[in-house]
Chains A and B, each alone.
Chain A
Amino acid sequence: MFERYSRQILFAPIGEEGQKKIRSKHVLMIGAGALGSGNGEILVRAGVGRLTLVDRDYVEASNLQRQLLYTEADAAEKMPKAVAAERRLRAVNSDVDVRGIIGDATPDLMEELVGDVDLIIDATDNFETRMVMNDIAQKYNIPWVFGACVGSFGMSFPIIPGKTPCLNCLLKSLPLQGMTCDTAGIIAPAVQMVAVHQSAEALKILTENWDAVRTTFVSFDLWRNQYTSIKMSRAKDDGCLSCGPERTYPYLDRENQSKSTVLCGRDTVQIRPPRKQDIDLQSLGRQLRALHYEVKGNPYLLSVELEENRLVIFNDGRALVHGTKDVAQARAIYQRILG
C-alpha cells in the first residue's frame, strides 16, 4: 500500500510512522492559484489523508504561465479553479480525499471548515484573507504556513499558535495596497520557491517533526540572488489582539471586513475596504498602463478596463466592479489589482 510512497518513507525523518501520520491528516488550503498548485500537488503526491481547497476564481489564460494544475482547456471553459484543481489532484492520487469548494474564504466559511483540520496552507493572494486565516488559526489552535510573492521576490513563515509570533504581530495592521501579481507581474520560479518552502514546513508539521520546523522568516529575490533568514525571537507582540492574552480576533469581526454590495440593476458590485485608504491613483495608473491595461483617470478616480469587467477605483479605496453581480468575483477582481 505504501509502495508509491517508498522514497518518502526511506527519508529517515519521515519513515513509516511519518507516512502514517501524513495519511491521517487533513489540510485546508485557502486559494488554488499558483501557490495552491504547487502546495496542492506536493501534498497530494505525498499522500495526505484529506485536502480541502477553497477558491472563488476561474481559470484564465494569464494563469497558465505559473499555475501548474491547469490547462488550456480549463481556461477556454473558464473552469472554476476549485473544480479543475480537485479533478486534477484526484487524478494524481486517488488515495487522497480531495474536496474543492467554490467560494470566498470568509470567516464564516473558514469556521465551518476548520473542524478537524490539522494544518492550513496560505495560497491566497491578499492580506485581508490572510489576516482572517491568522485569526482562525489562533482561535482553533491550528498551525498555518504563510507564503506570498510578487515579481521575483517571495517570503514564507510557518506560524504555530502558542509558539511563534503570528502574522498580526509582524504586520500590526492590514497592509495597504500591497504589490500584487496583477500589478507588478510574477515569474513562475518565485511562486514555486515559496510553495516549496511552505510544503517542506507542511511535511514537518504533518509528521510532527516539530524540532525541524523553521523558526526564521525567509525572504528571497531569485532575480537578484538574495536569500535572507530573519530571526523572529523578538517578533512576538504581547499586546497582539490575534494571539496575545487579551485577544479579540479582530479580523473575524464584521466591522474589519471589506463590505461588498450589489448595486441593483446596474450589473455592478461596490467594494468598500474595512478602513479608509489613501491610494495614490496616479502611480497605480502608471503601473497598470505599463502592463498594457487600458486605464482612464481623473484626480478622483481611476477606471481600468479588464477582459469582461471595468474596475473603477476611488482615492479612499472604494471601488465599483462593473459587469458582474457576483460578489465573490468582484472581490477577486478588486484584490487582484489592489492586494
Chain B
Amino acid sequence: MAEQAQAEPAAHGHGRVLAALSLVAALTLASASAIAVYGLDRYLARQQTHDLRRVASLLASRVALLPGGIDDKPAIEAEVASMAQAADARLTVVAADGRMIAGSAVQAAFVENLADRIEVIAAARDGLGVAERESTTLGGRHLYVAVPIRIADRLVGFARAARPSTHFADALSLTVPLLTYLTIAAAMTLVLGHLARQRIARQSVRLINTAEAAAARAAESERRLTEAQRIAKIGSWDWDRESNAARWSDNLYRMFGVEPGAFAPTLEQYLEFIHPDDRDAVRLAARRVMEQGIPVAMDTRIVRPDGRTIIGHMRGQAVTDEHGNPVRLVGTIVDVTDVRHAEAARQAAEEQFRDFVETTNEWIWTFDTRGTLLYSNAAVKNILGYDIDELIGREVLHLLHPDDQAAIQAALPEMVRQKAHWTGVVRRWLHRNGEWRYVESNGTPMLDRNGVVRGFRGSARDITERTLAEEAFRKSEERFQLAARASNDVLWDWDFATGDIWRSEAIRRVFGHADVANERWDAMLHPQERQLVGERLKEFLDSTRETWVAEYRFQRGDGSYAWVLDRGIVVRDEDGRPLRMIGTMMDITERKEAERMKSDFVSFVSHQLRTPLSGMNWMLELAAEARDLPPQAAEYVADARESAARLGRLVNDLLDIARLESGRTLMAQEPVRLDEVTRSVLREMNAVIVDKRHTVRFDPDGAGPAFADQQMMRQVIANLVSNAIKYTPDGGQIDITMVQRTDRVEWSVRDNGMGIPQAAQGRLFEKFYRADNAISREAEGTGLGLHLVRLVVEHAGGQVWCESEEGRGSRFAFTLPSAQTEGADA
C-alpha cells in the first residue's frame, strides 16, 4: 500500500500532503488488517475510515477559516481540497480492502489455534483500549481514533520527534497517534495565522517534512502487515480489470512456494499452481465474481514447486465503480492445510468413536433434564426391547419402576444444580415384554456455554441376571446364617486348597473359642485321641468314602474338654482328591457324661459281682471235686456251676459293652488277618461243632487284612460263629466266606438254621434284644452278643447286617476297611 502511495504522481507540497494522507490510509489499512487478524469485527475498521473522512473535511473547514491576508491561503485551500478528494478515493479502496482482509482474517485467526486466538484478541482489545482513550479537542469536538497499540506507540514517538513548538508542548505531551497529530497540525495552522505568515509557512513546511518522514515509516508498516499476513497464513491479492495488472502480497508468493515478485501474477499464472482437478471450479468462480458480483469462497488445492500440496481457502470480492461495474477484484488466500487436515483427523476420530458406540453392548444415551431421550445407540434394544426410533425424542422416565422414577424426579433438580456425576447406580426399567430389568448406569452432566446443565449422557448395562443371582445368594446366605445361629452345632468348612477352615459362630457360643480362624483343628483334640483321630482322618481322606463320623474330645476356650460328634462329607475331584470337606461338630458332652456314669456304674457293679461270683465258682469247683458227694448233690453242684458260668459271661459282656460305649477303651486300628482269626475260633469251637454234627466250610478267597482291633475281632467272630452253631439244628450246614472288595473286606457266616422272624431282624443288634424264637429255643443268650458285634464293627468304621428267612437260615455279614496295600495280591 505504501508503495502505491509513493507511486502516486504528486506536485511539490501537494504531493507531500497527499503522501501523508496515503500514509494515513496505509496505516489505517494496516491497523484494520491487524485488528481483523486479531479477530475483531469489521465495524471498527469501517469506523476508522469514517473518521478519516471526517478529518479531511475538518481540515478543509479549518483552512477556509484562515484569514484572507495570508499569502498562500488559496494554495493551502487547493491542496487540502485535492487532499480530501484523493483521500476519499483512497478510502473507498482502503475500506473495501480492510473489510476484505478483516472478513478473511477473522476466519483465519479462528481456525489457526484456539488458545492463540483468545490470547491475541485480548491483546487487541488492550491496544484498542489505549486508542479509545486517545482523544484531543478540535473546535470543541472530540475526535476518537482507534489505533492498535503497536502503531500508536510508533506514532507517539514520531509526533514527539516532530514537535513543532514549545508553545504546544503541553498539548503534544499527550500520546497522540498520527491522525491526532494531523489535526493538531491543522489547528496549529489556525492559531499561527494570527501570529505570522512566515511562521505558518515554516510550520507548514515542517508539517510536510514531517509527513515525508512518516512516509518512510509507512514502509515499515507494510513490512508489519506482511509479517501479520505470514503469521496468519494469509496472502492478499488484487487485480485491476482495466490494466489486467495484479498485485500479490509477499506472503501470497511465499505460500505458493516462490520468492516474492518472482513472476507477474496473472489469472493464468495462478491457475498453474492450482491442482488440475480444481482449475475448472476456480475459473467458474472467477467468472461469476466478475460477471455477477458473486463473492468467491472456496477451498483449492495448491501444488507448490517443491511438490507439497497445500489447501488454500480463497475469498474474493469485486470492487465496483459508481455504475456498479466491477473494476477490481480483491481477495485473500488463507493456508488452511493444517486446519483441513485437523478436520479430517477429527472426522476419523469421530468415526472411530461412532463405531465404538454403535457396536458396544453398553447402552449409550443422552437425556435432557426432563428425561427426554436425545440420543441412544442400538444396544437399548437388548435392555428395554425397543428400537432406537421408538424412544428417541420421547420422555422415557415412565419406563422406570415407580419407586425409581419417583426417586429420580425428586433428585433431578439437585443433580442439575450440583452438576452431578454418578457411577454404578442401579434402577429398574420395564422391558417391553413386561419384565423388570436391573440396569446399572454411569452418567455425567452436559453443560451449555454458560455452564448450565442441559442434560446427562452416559452408559448403562443390564445386570438383571447378576442382581437376581445375588439376591438369591443373599437369601440363601441369610437362611444359612439364621439356621447356623439357631443350631448349637458348629458348622465347619475346610478348603484343602488354602488349608483354611471356616467355622460358624457357634464355636464361640458352644466352645468359647474367641479366635477360631487360625486354630489348627488337631491341636484342639485331646492328646489321647489326637493321633488316632488324625490317622483315621488321613485314612478317610485317602479313601473314596464320602461321609466322615468321629467322636473325640475337643478343647474348649477355657482349656477343658468337650465330647463332640464330628460328622461331615467330603467333596472330591475326578481323581478322588479331596477339595473341600464340610460338616458339623455337635457337643455331646452331656450324653457322653451320662454314658460314662452309666458305664462307671456298670463297671462298679460288675466288679462287685465278680468277687462273690468267683467265690461261687471256686467253692462249687471244690464241691464238685469232693470224693464222697452223693450223686444227686453232684448233679446239683454241676447245675450250679453252669449257672455261675453263665453269670460270668454276662458280666464279661456287660463290662465290654460298657467300656466300648464309654469310648474310654480305644480299640486299636491294626491290620487283622480275619482268616487266621476265623480258623482259630473254629479250632476252639471244634468240640461243640463235632458234638452237633455240623458241617462247616470256610473259604477266605484270598481276602487281605482289615483294619480293626485283633482281640475284639476275635470276640466278634466267635459271637457270630457261636450263634450259627447254636441256632442251627444238629447236622446243619455252616458256610463262612470272605470277599475282598475295593476298599473293604467282607466277612459272612451263613447257616441253614431256624432263621429270624422278619419283625425281629431290624432290632437284632440292639442291646438286650433277643428274638422270640431264640428265647424259646435257647436259654443261654445274654442279648448282648450282637450288640457287641455292632459296637466293635462300627467302631472300626465298618458295617454289620443280617439277612434271614425264618425256617430257612440266616446270613450275618460285616465289612471292615481294607488294610490291603495297593498292588498286593487280592
| Co-assembled chains A and B | no
